[in-house]
Amino acid sequence: MNPCVKIRHRSCAETDVAALDASGVPPLLARLYAARGVRADETELSLRALAPPEAMRGVPEAAALLADALERQASILIVGDFDADGATSSALARRALRDFGAERVSSLIPDRFTMGYGLTPALVEHATRFDPALLVTVDNGIGSIDGVRQARRNGWQVIVTDHHLPGEELPEADVIVDPNQPGCDFPNKALAGVGVIFYVMMRLRHELRARGWFERRGRPEPNLAALLDLVALGTVADVVPLNHQNRILVDQGLRRIRAGRCRPGIAALFEVAGRDPSRAVASDLGFAIGPRINAAGRLEDMSIGVACLLADDSSEALRHARRLDELNRRRREVEGGMVEEARRILDGLKPSGARAFGITLYEPHWHQGVVGLVASRVKSRAHAPVIAFARDGEGRLKGSGRSIPGVHLRDALDRVDRMSPGLIERFGGHAMAAGLTLKEEGYAEFARRFDAVVRDLLGGEPLGEVLEVDGELPAGVLDLETAEAVRFAGPWGQGFPEPLFEGRFEIVTQRIVGERHLKLLLRPLDAPDDAFIDAIAFQHSELLRGEQARLYYRLDVNQYRGRRGVQLIVERVDCE
């Protein structure tokens, strides 16, 4: 565990805590919520609290175009992205349109290795075999200037639905739906791609209802809440901030999963991951289900992931889920080797004494579909923005980056692009994650420029790792009731971190399990002599010295042989 960590205690105004208390929130949760800036009116996680779809620029126009296409039973093509957000967006759009009565709906996701990201001219050429009258992008398209232009030249109508930050030029689509586009006042700028298309489908149902579509067709109005499991999965897997609006979408999706009302494909993914869907929380989607979907796009073809999410038959869904599980195991093997090589590269840089503010990594044999995961792992270790590159087979490098709070990664790439026009062929993304393409011979210059830009953004002072802590819990509340309350009080995730507590404990017993994890039996110092509690510190392969330690931990519920008990997940140990 990194000894050079600054401990920061989360604080909150007592007036905010009191307001939450008054609204009926239990005292511990009131303090946790207030420390995360939650107001009393933001504890409401029902669908009634969602912003209306028509508040998002372009949604009414997109719904009208889609309704026109349904009226004439035109061919509709959904073009997605090769990650979990793109897969859930594609599946949601296809399922909703078919439930509305569309008879000619197809989807297409580009091959990461041959076509790259987004609606490129090459993908438009490939899409001609579907002969679409209307093309709808999901989770991409805001930067597809040439691809949209080519699609329009083909005589197709184009609706772009995306959530990424736009560049200076917008595509010439018939309609653009993106909460981050200029002139859009929608309150939730942090929607994932699947959230954007969900809003479009909600407005489409309203549009069809107004046209008398369901009455004329003699079909019931679909319950779009049935698609919220897909919205929750895509939102968490894309690591967008869980602000109030996103927490509503994720919470409602998780409730459906826990109630056994999720799609067969998601249920099958829980099964192969060994997770209990009746106790599902956001971390299950982020660390177990999402990676299995993503493995298809990283190693092979995301159509497997979409097929799993669209499957109506449980046996078919399980067959796809097992294939995704196999791909995920392969992905972990590839990733493990690449991360170890990346660490050796970093260790080799240390003797020079020069600290990189923006880290770039590249090995010619690295797998293009896994470099983003390498960047994420190294970022967590070095606590600096990291971009990892791999060859694309055509003399170019494809980079995937992850950032830290304080460095907006897409904006950093924009600054590099302005400093060295033409160095980056294309780029896009968010504050915390971005991708880019450049010629192989430009790697060294890019590495220098990127480091200089990040150094300037940080004012020449590297950001140290900060552990934000929610304080101590008395031994009397370290029980199953508290652990359960905290577990389901989220959904916790990006921008709404799971609570981290601290406390001093007596180390009763300790042992290494699985060669790299430390299993502990503890006693809180303010507890009776026989009040013991289990704990585990993952990736900590050394026994602790001393009889006592200050631990920084998350509360968890451990289930073993039908029994449930409290377990502490230890993030940091300070021996005393």
* CATH code where residue 495 lies: 2.40.50.460
With respect to residue 488, please indicate whether it lies within any of the assigned structural domains: yes
Average pLDDT over residues 414-436: 91
Q: Evaluate the omega torsion of the peptide bond into residue 474 and state whether it is cis, within 30 degrees of 0.
A: no
The tokens describing 361, both together, are: 């990594």
pLDDT at site 576: 58
Q: Is the pLDDT of residue 3 over 80?
A: no
Average pLDDT over residues 419-430: 90
Q: Distance (Å, rounded) from C-alpha 173 to C-alpha 153?
A: 11
pLDDT at site 354: 57
Residues 273 and 363 in one domain: no
> Of the residues 418, 446, 465, which one is the last residue of a structural domain?
465
Residues 273 and 373 in one domain: no
Residues 502 and 558 in one domain: yes
> Of the residues 465, 491, 520, which one is the last residue of a structural domain?
465
CATH, residue 437:
3.10.310.30
With respect to residue 16, please indicate whether it lies within any of the assigned structural domains: no
Residues 537 and 559 in one domain: yes
Q: Distance (Å, rounded) from C-alpha 13 to C-alpha 11?
A: 7
CB 232 within 8 A of CB 278: no
Average pLDDT over residues 289-312: 94
pLDDT at site 564: 86
Q: How confident is the model at residue 459 (pLDDT cuts 50, 70, 90)?
A: confident
Rounded to 10 deg, the angle between the 290-299 and 303-310 helix axes is 140
With respect to residue 265, please indicate whether it lies within any of the assigned structural domains: yes
The tokens describing 180, both together, are: 């981050």
Q: Using one digit for the tens of pLDDT, what is the confidence trace for 39-64?
A: 999 999 999 999 999 999 999 999 99
Residues 223 and 264 in one domain: yes
Q: Using one digit for the tens of pLDDT, what is the confidence trace for 185-215?
A: 999 999 999 999 999 999 999 999 999 999 9
Average pLDDT over residues 72-88: 96
Stretch among 165-179, 271-285, 529-543 having the lowest mean pLDDT: 529-543
pLDDT at site 75: 98
Residues 238 and 312 in one domain: yes
Q: Using one digit for the tens of pLDDT, what is the confidence trace for 140-193?
A: 999 999 999 999 999 999 999 999 989 889 999 999 999 999 999 999 999 999
pLDDT at site 180: 96
> Higher model confidence: residue 351 or residue 476?
476
Quote the number of domains for the chain. 3
Residues 139 and 277 in one domain: yes
Name the DSSP class of 48: G
pLDDT at site 461: 78
With respect to residue 504, please indicate whether it lies within any of the assigned structural domains: yes
Share the mean pLDDT of the chain: 93
Stretch among 140-149, 264-273, 525-534 having the lowest mean pLDDT: 525-534
Residues 460 and 477 in one domain: no
> Of the residues 465, 489, 507, which one is the last residue of a structural domain?
465
- Reading across the β-sheet that carries 134-138, which strands appear in turn? 105-108, 76-79, 134-138, 157-161, 175-177
pLDDT at site 155: 97
CATH, residue 112:
3.90.1640.30
Burial class for 246, CB neighbours closer than 10 Å (0-12, 13-18, 19+): buried
pLDDT at site 100: 97
With respect to residue 8, please indicate whether it lies within any of the assigned structural domains: no
- Domain containing 561 equals 473-575
With respect to residue 30, please indicate whether it lies within any of the assigned structural domains: no
Share of the chain above pLDDT 90, in %: 82
Residues 523 and 448 in one domain: no
Average pLDDT over residues 104-126: 89
pLDDT at site 230: 98
Average pLDDT over residues 249-271: 98
Residues 512 and 384 in one domain: no
Residues 312 and 253 in one domain: yes
Residues 397 and 526 in one domain: no
Name the DSSP class of 286: I
Q: What is the pTM of this model?
A: 0.92
**CA–CA distance from 300 to each of 293, 404, 418 (Å)?**
11, 29, 35
For β-strands 396-402 and 563-575, DSSP reports them as unpaired
With respect to residue 74, please indicate whether it lies within any of the assigned structural domains: yes
Q: Using one digit for the tens of pLDDT, what is the confidence trace for 305-352?
A: 999 999 999 999 999 999 999 999 999 999 999 999 998 988 876 655
Q: Distance (Å, rounded) from C-alpha 306 to C-alpha 141?
A: 19
Q: How confident is the model at residue 277 (pLDDT cuts 50, 70, 90)?
A: very high
With respect to residue 37, please indicate whether it lies within any of the assigned structural domains: no
Average pLDDT over residues 355-362: 89
3-class SS string, 227-239:
HHHHHHHHHHHCC
pLDDT at site 558: 87
